[in-house]
Amino acid sequence: MFQSSGVEAVTLVYQGNAFVRVDSTVAFTVVVQVGGATLSRPHLSITSSDTSIVALTPGRDSLIGRNTGNATLTIRLESSMLTDPATAPTLTQALHVRP
């Protein structure tokens, strides 16, 4: 979970399994709240640190286990109101691919 400090608190929460089996696909979601209100369809940048271990489906709503190992999912909220990507609300989620 990521939670910002500031006037309007922004919270990102990963909802899904952190353990994926090789050759399987597992759905996940990310809940984004601003000031306690849930955003519907937030614009997120979602990347895997190692796509040879775990990749994302084209719709970016499921993980694909490719090879045994560990990777990190980075989820960043994107908005025209956030002018500096370095300070955008970001969540990292450890992922583990098992045989």
Residue 10 has pLDDT above 80, yes or no: yes
pLDDT digits (tens, 9 = 90+) for 22-47: 999 999 999 999 888 999 999 999 99
Comparing C-alpha atoms, which of 90, 73, 92 is closest to residue 26?
A: 73
pLDDT in the model for residue 87: 82
Please give the model's pTM, rounded to 2 decimal places: 0.86
Question: Residue 27 belongs to what H/E stretch?
Answer: strand 25-34
Write down the pLDDT at residue 26: 98
pLDDT in tens, 54-95: 999 999 999 999 999 999 999 999 987 776 777 889 999 999
Q: How far apart are CA 56 and CA 63, in angstroms?
A: 5
State the total domains in the chain. Answer: 1
Q: The domain spanning residue 76 has which CATH number?
A: 2.60.40.1080
Range of the domain at 53: 2-98
| Cβ atoms of residues 94 and 72 within 8 Å | yes
Q: Say whether 85 sits in a helix, a strand or coil.
A: helix
Question: Where does residue 85 fall: left (phi above 0), alpha (psi -120 to 50 degrees), or beta otherwise?
Answer: alpha
